[in-house]
Structure 1
Amino acid sequence: MKRLLQSLPLAGLLLILWLVLNDSLSAGHLALGAAIALTLALLAPVLRPTRARLSHPLVALRLAGHVAIDIVRSNLDVGRFILRAPRAGTPSGFLDIPLRIRDPHGLATLACIVTFTPGTVWTGHDPERNVLTLHVLDMRDPQHLTRIIQDRYERPLMEIFE
């Protein structure tokens, strides 16, 4: 019974997603969506053997605010970059960033943050050296981007997950 109660929030979100994607509130879609959502919610813990623990929720909220601001800024920067017709000499390329974070949930969150931010794409992670490889659209200042990743994102994620 406890497992069923713990699965209800995820099941509710999945049901809402199902209904939105199907653009229908019919009884059939409600019943099928509820069955699929509940089944997936009950099976979800099997897919995640290690559970994430958020130890500092205020740090997480502050990080979410920083990410939202950075996404807006990055959208504007990428728009300006594209509109000014990049020349052949505009530097873009791959950047290796050493990381300290080891928690898989923190690394997954960092991957989402980096990929959600226009102008950067997470292209790889070497777990042995713990080095993140990014593709960066505008690499005029790679040290600045490295500091942003390490100080603005990685440090709070380490507080939250480790």
Structure 2
Amino acid sequence: MTPWLPYPIVSLSLCALWLLLNQTLDPANLLFGVALGIAVPLLSRRLQPFGYPRLRAPLVFLRLMGMALVEIVHSCFNVSRIILLRDYKTVNAQFIRVPLTIRDPYGLAMLSCLINMTPGTVWVEILPEHHELSLHVFDLHDQQWWIDTIKGRYEAPLIQIFESENDHANPA
């Protein structure tokens, strides 16, 4: 990590993406890709007030993304079946509260993205007084199942990925 290359992986990815989009390795595009890879991270550094996130467990991250993909596809079919085949009067749409342990802003942002990408659920807000997530569920049957699922399938891996052991030893 140098002052000119603060995030080398991001720089390399931007350069590679530029070359892939242009489908050429000619010198002009190669030079522009390198310039893009250097300039964008330098110019966007102030947009990341906490710095770029550090993935503490990349294998857990990959497993979480795979599980989330399966869950999203499964939910698409379930929500489609409910919309197309069930009487709307039998749908039990409700708000629930899920107590959260995770405090890392990047972990919370990823949890929000995962929940909102899953059809049938919408992240409404974080209730600051108890650090709870307010969640809308399209067809709620078992509130405790939803709480256990969010805390076990999503929050626990995100804590492993984004937070260190010391973050939970001394809660603020």
TM normalised by structure 1 equals 0.79
Partner in structure 2 of residue 50 of structure 1: 50
Q: Structure 1 residue 9: deviation in Å?
A: 4.4
SS at match of 1:160: helix
Alignment of 1:16-55 (within 5 A): 38-51=38-51, 52-55=53-56
Alignment of 1:134-153 (within 5 A): 134-153=135-154
Go from structure 1 to structure 2 and tell me whether the alpha carbon gap of 1:133 and 1:46 turns closer, same or farther (over 3 Å shift).
same
Q: Structure 1 residue 32: deviation in Å?
A: 8.8
Moved more, 39-48 or 63-72: 39-48
Instruction: Write the distance in 2 (CA, Å) between the matches of 1:93 and 1:30.
Output: 53
SS at match of 1:6: coil
TM normalised by structure 2 equals 0.75
Structure 2: state its 5+ residue gaps: 22-28, 164-172
Q: Which runs of structure 1 show a deviation greater than 6 angstroms over 4 or more consecutive aligned residues?
A: 15-21, 29-37
Moved more, 100-109 or 10-19: 10-19
SS at match of 1:154: helix
Structure 1: state its 5+ residue gaps: 22-28
Moved more, 5-14 or 60-69: 5-14
Q: Structure 1 residue 45: deviation in Å?
A: 2.2
Partner in structure 1 of residue 118 of structure 2: 117
Q: Structure 1 residue 18: deviation in Å?
A: 8.0
How big is each residue's C-alpha offset from its partner over 1:85-129, in whole Å with a ceiling of 9 and x where there is no partner?
A: 432231102111111111111101100100111111111012331
In the alignment, is residue 80 of structure 1 matched against residue 81 of structure 2?
yes
Partner in structure 1 of residue 129 of structure 2: 128
In the alignment, is residue 10 of structure 1 matched against residue 7 of structure 2?
no
Q: Structure 1 residue 8: deviation in Å?
A: 5.5
In the alignment, is residue 63 of structure 1 matched against residue 64 of structure 2?
yes
Cα root mean square deviation, aligned: 3.0
SS at match of 2:54: coil
Q: Structure 1 residue 19: deviation in Å?
A: 9.4
How big is each residue's C-alpha offset from its partner over 1:125-148, in whole Å with a ceiling of 9 and x where there is no partner?
A: 123311001111111222211111
Q: Give % identity.
A: 43
Q: How many aligned residue pairs are there?
A: 162
The answer to whether the Cα contact below 8 Å between 2:5 and 2:11 also exists between their aligned partners in 1 is: no
